[in-house]
Each structure stands twice: as C-alpha cells, then as structure tokens.
C-alpha cells in the first residue's frame, strides 16, 4: 500500500514538473536553430530599456498620448519587426494581460483562416515575470507578444515580435536580451 501511495505521489510530482517545464520551455525550442548574425545594442531615447537588434535594421521612435513611447525596429523588407510600447495603466499586470488577451481575441476574430494559437501564459523568458501570447498563421508568420511591469509605478512594457517562421529563432534570441533600465 505504501508503495502504491509513493508511486502515485511520484507520478503527480512528475506531471507537475513536466507541465511547469513545458511552460518555461515554449520558446527554448526555437532558440536551438537561430542564425548567428551581427547585432547592436539598442537603447531607446528615454533610456528606459535596451535589447539587441540585427545591425542592418532600421529604428524609429514615436511618442504617443496614451503610450509613453513606442519604438519600432524593422528589417529592410519591413516584414520582420520588433515593437516596444511603454504603457501607463492603473491595472495590475494580470488585469492588463486579461485586457490585452481580450483585445487580441477580438483582432483574431477579424482574421480570416488558418490562425493558430501556439502558446500563452506566464513566462520568465525575458528575465522578468511576464505574460505572453504566441500565434502563427497558415503561411508560418508568427506574432509573439509579451507584457511585463517596468520599474516605474503604473507603467508596463509590451514587446511584440512579428516574424516569418525562419526568422523567429533569431528574433527570439535578440529579444531575450531585453533589459528594463527604468
């Protein structure tokens, strides 16, 4: 009887460990196949954050009323891109994530055909507690969105990757260097 109880407890411990590792490893499956490219450190104008971008990419910076800032790094063909928003909100991280998920679901309902949700939930992929949402369309184009708290009260970062399937590993490798400065 003790052996059965021990086996059952061990089995449930294994399941819990497997599930938590699966959640943490969602992006690690892509990192094994990234192309080594020349990158440069990008720091936004307000010195709020930094991350590596491919050295031949273009950068633009905008200030908006509702979002404190918005930065866009994109490839020469303007297909693959990083977008970073610094958002002011009275909601906590979980509430803001729920609001963004509802917005994403509304946007997804407008898209016709073949969009697949590859993963969503909590992650520490960017070295900060955050939530992510990862979709892919029928042609293999990926959109990955992260939301995390900044070091300032009531401010959050939303980091979005838009990438063709073959470029996603390299872009994930670059965005993994995302560092919150303030």
Burial class (CB in 10 A: 0-12, 13-18, 19+), 126: buried
- Which domains can be identified in the chain, with CATH numbers? 2-180 (3.40.1000.10)
Nearest residue to 119 via CA among 23, 33, 45, 53: 23
Task: Report the predicted TM-score, pTM, of the whole model to 2 decimal places.
Answer: 0.77
Q: In this predicted structure, what is the pLDDT of residue 65?
A: 60
Token code pair at residue 170: 């390299």
CB 54, CB 170: distance < 8 Å: yes
| pLDDT tens readout for residues 80-111 | 888 888 888 899 999 989 988 887 777 666 66
- Distance (Å) of CA 146 to CA 83, 84, 87, 104: 10, 9, 13, 12
85: β partners: 70, 158
CB 22, CB 157: distance < 8 Å: no
41: β partners: 52
Coil, helix or strand for 180? strand
Q: In this predicted structure, what is the pLDDT of residue 87?
A: 86
What is the Cα–Cα distance from 158 to 166, expressed in whole angstroms? 23
The DSSP call for residue 27 is T
Give me the phi and psi of 174, to 5 degrees please: -65, -50
* CA 43 remoteness from chain centre: 18
Residues of the chain with pLDDT under 50: 1-23
**H/E run at residue 82:** strand 81-88
Q: In this predicted structure, what is the pLDDT of residue 17?
A: 38
Token code pair at residue 75: 């490839």
**Alpha helices in the chain, H assignment, sequence order:** 2-24, 28-31, 93-110, 168-175
Q: In this predicted structure, what is the pLDDT of residue 86?
A: 86
Token code pair at residue 103: 């917005």
The DSSP call for residue 123 is E
């Amino acid at each position: 009887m003790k052996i059965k109880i021990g086996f059952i407890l061990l089995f449930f411990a294994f399941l819990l460990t497997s599930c938590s590792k699966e959640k943490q490893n969602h992006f690690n499956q892509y990192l094994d196949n990234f192309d080594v490219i020349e990158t440069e450190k990008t720091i936004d104008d307000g010195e709020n954050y930094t991350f590596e971008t491919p050295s031949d990419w273009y950068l633009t910076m905008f200030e908006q009323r509702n979002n404190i800032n918005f930065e866009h790094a994109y490839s020469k063909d303007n297909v693959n891109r990083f977008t970073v928003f610094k958002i002011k909100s009275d909601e906590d991280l979980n509430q803001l994530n729920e609001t963004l998920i509802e917005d994403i679901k509304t946007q997804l309902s407008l898209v016709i055909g073949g969009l697949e949700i590859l993963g969503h939930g909590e992650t520490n992929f960017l070295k900060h507690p955050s939530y992510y949402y990862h979709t892919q369309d029928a042609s293999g184009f990926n959109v990955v969105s992260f939301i995390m708290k900044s070091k300032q009260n009531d401010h959050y970062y939303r980091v979005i990757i838009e990438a063709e399937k073959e470029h996603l590993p390299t872009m994930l490798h670059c965005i993994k260097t995302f560092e919150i400065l303030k």
